[in-house]
Amino acid sequence: MSGIKENLMEIRGLVVAVGGKEILHGVNLNIHVGETHVLFGPNGSGKSTLLMTMMGSPRYHVTRGSIIFKGKDIVGLPIDERARMGIGMSVQRPPVVRGVKTRDMVAACVGSRQPEESVESMAARADMSDFLDRDINYGFSGGEVKRSELLQLLAQRPDLALLDEPESGVDLVNIALIGKLINDLLQKDHYLRDRNRSGLIITHTGHILEYVSARTGYVLMDGVVVCEGDPKEILETIKKKGYEECRKCAI
Partner 1 sequence: MPEMRDIKTSKEAVEKAKSAQAKQARFGQDIALDSYAQSAESIDYQRDLSQLPQATKERMLEVGVVTDDKVERSGTIVQMDSSVIHSLTKQDDVEVMSTNQAMEKHGWLADYLWKAVSVDSDKYTAHVELHHSNGYFIRSLTGSKSVYPIQACLYLNKKNLAQTVHNIIIAEENSELHIITGCTSGGKNEPGLHLGVSEFYVKKGAKVSFTMIHNWDPQIAVRPRTGIIVEEGGVFISNYVIMKPVQSLQTNPVARCVGENAVVRFNSILVAQPGSSMDVGSQVILDAKGARTEIISRTITTGGTITARGYIEGNAPEVKGHLECRGLILGEKGIIHAIPELKGQIAGIDLSHEAAIGKIAEEEVEYLMMRGLTRDAATATIVRGFLRVDIEGLPDQLNQELRHAVEASEKDLM
CA distance 229 to 238: 13
CA 172 to chain centre: 21
Q: Are 106 and 155 in contact (CB under 8 A)?
A: yes
Q: How far apart are CA 195 and CA 68, in angstroms?
A: 20
Residue 92 CB, nearest approach to partner 1 (Å): 12
Distance of closest approach, residue 172 Cβ to partner 1, in angstroms: 28
Q: Of 45, 49, 148, 156, which lies in the binding site for partner 1, with binding defined by CB under 8 A? A: 156
DSSP-assigned letter for residue 138: T
* Residue 171: HSE in the Cβ half-sphere, 13 Å Cα cutoff: 3
Nearer to partner 1, 81 or 210 (CB): 81
Question: How many binding residues for partner 1 (CB under 8 A)?
Answer: 25
The binding track of 112-151 with respect to partner 1, each residue x by CB under 8 A or -, is: -----------------------x----------------
Q: Cβ 149 to partner 1, closest distance in Å?
A: 10
Rounded CA separation 190/241 (Å): 35
Candidates 107-115, 120-128, 180-188, 242-250: pick the segment binding partner 1 (CB under 8 A). 107-115
Minimum CB distance to partner 1 smaller for 7 or for 57: 57
CB 10, CB 30: distance < 8 Å: yes
Check binding of 229 to partner 1 (CB under 8 A). Answer: no
Length of the chain: 251
Q: How far is the CB of 97 from partner 1 (least distance, A)?
A: 5
The interface with partner 1 within residues 11-70 (CB under 8 A) comprises 55, 57-58
Quote the distance between the C-alpha of residue 73 and its chain's center. 19
Toward partner 1, which CB reaches closer, 92 or 216?
Answer: 92
- On whether the CB atoms of residues 60 and 18 are closer than 8 A, the answer is yes
Distance between CA atoms of 84 and 17, rounded to whole angstroms?
25
Q: In the complex, which residues of this chain contact partner 1 (CB under 8 A)?
A: 55, 57-58, 78-80, 83-84, 88-89, 91, 94-95, 97-100, 104-105, 108-109, 111, 135, 152, 156
